[in-house]
Structures are given as structure tokens and as C-alpha cells.
Structure 1
């Protein structure tokens, strides 16, 4: 049976009126674990972690509304004006586009539960994402791998092992197999090897999508993990800790050893980036685009490397690989963006050279055709 979050305990942490909180608890009890998607139908349920994120996001939104002067009597009272006000608040607070979109997703699920499916729109319906710097990008612009930040992963993990061997072995699993953090927590080393060639990743995956990753010659890491595995669950989360307690401890240990953006400039997620970048290079024969090399793979080799990276990462769309690898030509694109917009004289010359063809003129200027139109309109 799928796990259901104790929503009552979570809602209780927020300063919401008793009657309002009771209504919200009833809604969450009925729906909190349901998948909400406009593009797919699934009988799966959300993980407890995602249920908790959904619950806390909704509670926080209602608390913000009350502080803003909106005394909603129940969650059923949510209106379009409330959503618009929240988006304006989040933009003013300089929250990222991705963060705001996630919050809108949770509100959209709630609107479905209360019979108002068209109530919550996408971020672009409320603000100009480009103007406010909220355009979400799935293309990496900075290399998050540890090697790119001059961190010796083996040495740092050995140092962490002196504090906690469990955290260290989970980091080793991330290095060896490109696992997400929670996947490294919940991997059951004694069960995961299904064949001599692959490792089955089944627990803690995003969206519940199981996958197989190449085992290669990395059995030693699994043997070490097996020696530390919990006799009850089979994972490397110690028996005396809940998953939440372990997550808190894991990040405490990393912070203690400087493995944070504010410390060494890296997180443990950077180990996953490193694994996938190396996989791309192994298959294609050239470094990943994020490495800044001028070498480019042949089309067939590039396509096969992207396919392998997406499969190993546990994604379904090819474009998701760009979040780890970036794209060729990124350096030139960023340089164009940093440049001052072309002057009126430069625009006129480009149009003259292109015999009035706006697409060719825009390409020569290194801008989009839409940007060219904006410059012409502003002149």
C-alpha cells in the first residue's frame, strides 16, 4: 500500500484558523498523493517527499494570503485575484521562475480538487517571464561537476567517511552510478544487481520511473554499501533514523565538510553531473559541451550519447540531458547576450547588406528576428 503523508501534523505547523485548517486537511487527506498532470494519466501516487512539498507549499501560500489581508474562510474560497496577488508577491521577492512555476503547479492541483480546474494558469499568463528574468532554462550554463570546481571527489569522500561512513558510501554510489541523492539513500545493494551488466534503480526515483544503469566494474562500491545496509529495509539508511531524519543528518555532514554552494561551491548533486558528463564523453568520443571544448561529435555519435545519458539519468525526454551537458554553441550565445544591443546604424547597415531580409539581418547581428523587430519599433 502506498505511503500517505500525515497531513494533519504538517498543517498544524502553520498559523491557519482552525476551521480553515480542518477544511484543508480534508482536501489533502483525499487528494495529496494523487498525480496531477495535464499531459499524462497515471495510477501511480506521489512520493511522501513530494506530498510534503505540496502540502507545505499550499499552507505557506494561504498564510501569505492572510498576511496580505485576504481572510479566506476556506480553501474553497480561492479566487483568481488571490493567485495573481501571490504571483506578484513571489516575483517581488525575486523567487526563481522554476520555484514559482512549482508553486503554481501545487495550486493548480488544489484548484482541480475544489472544482475550479481553470483557475490557475501558467506563470507566463501573469507576468512577462523574459522581462522579469523568470524564463526557465533546461540548458546548463555552468559546470556543476566537482572536477570543474577543483574538488578531488575521492579525497573529500574519504574525509567525510571519518565523520560518517554511511554518508560517504552514499556519495560513492552517486559517483559510481549517477544516482540522485534519495536514490543513493534507498538503493538496496543486495537486491539491485539484476544481471552482470546492469544495476536496477527502483527506489527513490523521480516520478517512480525505474531504470537500469551500467554496472561496469564497480562491484566494490556495492559490496561496501551491502556491509552497511540496514537488515530490515536493505538500504543504507541506518535503522535508528527515519528517512527525514537521515536526510537532515546527510546535509548536516556535507555542510560540516564544506560541500555546499556557499562553501566549496558544489553540492552532492554535482557528482551526478560528473557521471553523466563522463558517460557522454565515453560514448561520443568528445567532452560534453559544458566543458567548453571546440571538439564536436559526429551527429550519430552525439545522438547515441544523448540517448544513453537520458536513459542513465532516468529521464524520458532527450532535452533533459542538456541540464547536465549543456549545448554546443553556448559560449557564443552567452557572449551575444552580454553584448550591448546593436545601434540603429548597425541595424540599418545589416538590413542594407541583407537586401531587406530581416531574418538574415538578425542572424548577422547575432540577435533573434523578434529582437530585431523590437529595435526597429523602438527607433
Structure 2
């Protein structure tokens, strides 16, 4: 059965022109509950929560466009310049996170698809040059567990218990079963316990997908028993009376903030507990640490595949590849573990190899292609370019480039500052 959001109130209170409101209403009525993703594993309608996000973000976007001077009267008038304006606004002025911006673009891409304008909405790179480091990664680039930040989970929970027992037990549930924050709030410990030795997580899940989380140890049952003692006697959830979910959510994070549990405080978030839970599960199944912990130990491929599948099921995702957001991949972890090569090291390696790039790459323990990429990257740095000129002089002095070699065969005259010195490095023998 299709369940569709009653969006009328949201649109009526948006303050948009009458025609725009009417035509958005028609589009929402016909398409709002339909999934846009081509990789979705179920044909079910999307959740009410996702529908709400779609409506709210699209309304907010149209309001931002009108505030920016675009007198849009119809969604059918939407063009590339409008999307470009929004992306620039979100990234450069509002400084929103890359994940937030890409999620918003997904909503606009969905709207465009409803209107058969499938090529209208591109990616962030189609509209602006990304600031340094401004990228959403789908494979973990850093270990976000509390252990990696040297934050003791048990001590932190003990401190939280002195401040608020309900916040403390919810954090403990997240650490014990890898729950999301809202899942721990809405969990009904006794009702969700299954005789099969699983915790049936139903409420607050992503996409409304229920899942079974394995219970492997006696101490996990003890956590559930303590949680049950604090459960709301009326609702059975972990939100105490008289709090609503919305107000409790704010209170929960306020308490965490006071205890330093934030990126700006101790450098961790409660979501890091979920990372740690899945990393431990991977190690229990494969017998080796998760890639983000240690990349030089690889498990049996079959065990690895089994672990990835069990991780994604325990985490409540639909695709096995999603597990890499928590444990990374061995290739990524190996790349991240390599020391960063500085411009000075590149210059020294080229000088030591008499300008022979293959030898310089070997001394840096990288491929020759990687060396070319580094040269291209460092070519914009004036200090490196100056150092590059010194390398060419050194190589010339050692006879790799004869003094009688015409300057056009060396990539340009050494006396010509208009041609970058690192270009000369590109003409050194391979």
C-alpha cells in the first residue's frame, strides 16, 4: 500500500506564488512517494520521512531562488542557472557540508526527473570549483571510533550517568548494538528482544527498514535489562516522560555537548560508537582488524565477503558496499597510510636520480605515473618551480643535458622566466 505525505500544509505556509504552489502540488501528488534511486533494492514507496525532506528542501530552495532575485512562477521554468545559483549559495555563502549539498541536489534531480528534464541537474563540480577538501567520501578516510581518538567509552558513559541516566543508557545502547541515535531513543528493549538471540530494531531506522542485530554475549543482555528498567512505562521507549521525540533529541545532544562529545570537543560523535561496533564485528568474523585499523593484514576473501554482508545487515543498509563507510577498504587504507610526499622530497629524488623519473619514483616508493601527478600538482607552487630550476642546473652540470642542446629541446630557456621551471622537469629523460 502506498503511503503518501500530506504536504498541503507545508506548501500553503511556504509563501510561494499561487501558480508555483499549484504546479508543485500536482507534481507531488503524482510522484512524491516514488523512489528515484536506480540502485534501490525494494520497490516499496519511500518513507514519510524522506518525502518530508523532499518537500521541505524543495520549498526552501524555491524560496532561496526568489530571495536571490529569480521571479520563478512555475517549476517548469527551472533551468541550469537556477541550480548553479543554489549550489554557489549553499557552498560558498552558507558553507554547508558536502553531504548536505549533494543530498539537496538529489532532491532537485528528482524534481527534474518528474518533469522529464533528466539532464538538468548535474553534480557540484558542474557548477563551482570545490574548495580544498570539500568532498563527500563514501569510503571511510579516517577512523571515527572513540578508540582512535583515545576517548574511553565506559568512563564517558559513567560521567553521563551522573548528569542524565537516560542519555547515558542510550549512548550505551548505541555502543553495544551499533544503533543510530534515534534508534536508541525509540527502542523498546523488552518488546524488541527475540528468542533467536537478536534485537529487532524497528523504530527510527533509516528508510523505515527494520533489522535484526545479533546478541552474542551475556553482557549485552545485561545492558538491555538496565535499559528496560529505565524505559517509559507508557510507551515502552527510552524517551522519559514528558519529553517528545523532538525535544528529547535536542536535550540529548545538549547533554553530549556539555560533556565534550562533539567534533569541537573531544573530537568524537556518538555516531563513532556505531563505527566501533561494526569494526569489532568485522574483526570477530574475519580474525583480522578492519582495514581502517590496519591495512597490512588481509583476511580470507570469502570471510571478507561474509563479514561485509553481515555488517551491512547489522547496520541496516541495503547495499553491501555501504559497509566501507565504517571500515574503509584495504586499498584506501593503504593509500592513507603512506607518508605524504612533499615538494622538497620530489626535488631531492629527481636530483639524486640525475633527472631520471623512473629512478626518482623508485626512491620515493611510488609509481612513475604517481610522480607525474605530483609534478603536475606542484607545478603551481612558485617555490617548487624555483627548486625545479635548480634541479635542471644540477642535471645539466652532470651531463644529462649537454650544454650544446638547443633550449627548445629542454622545454625552454633557463633565462626565460615566462616559462615555468617545472616544465623543464617534464622534459627530463625517463
* TM-score scaled by length of structure 2: 0.73
Instruction: State the distance in 2 between where 1:262 and 1:139 align.
Output: 23
Residue 110 of structure 2: aligned partner: 109
**Unmatched 5+ residue regions in structure 1?**
355-360
- Structure 2 SS opposite 1:143: coil
Instruction: State the distance in 1 between where 2:324 and 2:25 align.
Output: 39
Instruction: State the distance in 2 between where 1:211 and 1:239 align.
Output: 27
1:98 aligns with 2:99: yes
Shift in alpha-carbon separation, 1:241–1:117, aligned structure 2, 3 A:
farther
Shift in alpha-carbon separation, 1:298–1:368, aligned structure 2, 3 A:
farther
Cα RMSD of the aligned pairs, angstroms, is 3.7
Residue 243 of structure 1: aligned partner: 245
1:19 deviation in Å? 5.9
1:174 deviation in Å? 0.8
1:307 aligns with 2:312: no
1:367 aligns with 2:374: no
- Structure 2 SS opposite 1:162: helix
Pairing of 1:212-223 with structure 2 (within 5 A): 212-216=212-216, 217=218, 218-223=220-225
Residue 66 of structure 1: aligned partner: 66
- Structure 1 SS opposite 2:199: strand
1:96 deviation in Å? 3.9
Larger Rg: 2
**Unmatched 5+ residue regions in structure 2?**
380-410, 412-421
- Structure 2 SS opposite 1:35: coil
* TM-score scaled by length of structure 1: 0.81
Q: Comparing 277-286 with 83-92, which one deviates more in the overlay?
A: 83-92
Instruction: State the distance in 2 between where 1:24 and 1:368 align.
Output: 52
Instruction: State the distance in 2 between where 1:208 and 1:324 align.
Output: 21
Contact preservation (8 Å) 2:312, 2:319: yes
Instruction: State the distance in 2 between where 1:6 and 1:255 align.
Output: 35
Contact preservation (8 Å) 1:362, 1:369: no
Deviations 1:3-59 (A, max 9, x none): 765645555776645664565466556654443223347553444443343233223
- Structure 1 SS opposite 2:213: strand
Residue 278 of structure 2: aligned partner: 276
- Structure 1 SS opposite 2:212: strand
Instruction: State the distance in 2 between where 1:39 and 1:324 align.
Output: 20
Deviations 1:209-239 (A, max 9, x none): 3222211221122222222333454322235
1:191 deviation in Å? 2.1
Count residues with an aligned counterpart. Answer: 372
Q: Give the counterpart of 1:229 among 204, 228, 231.
A: 231
Instruction: State the distance in 2 between where 1:78 and 1:63 align.
Output: 13
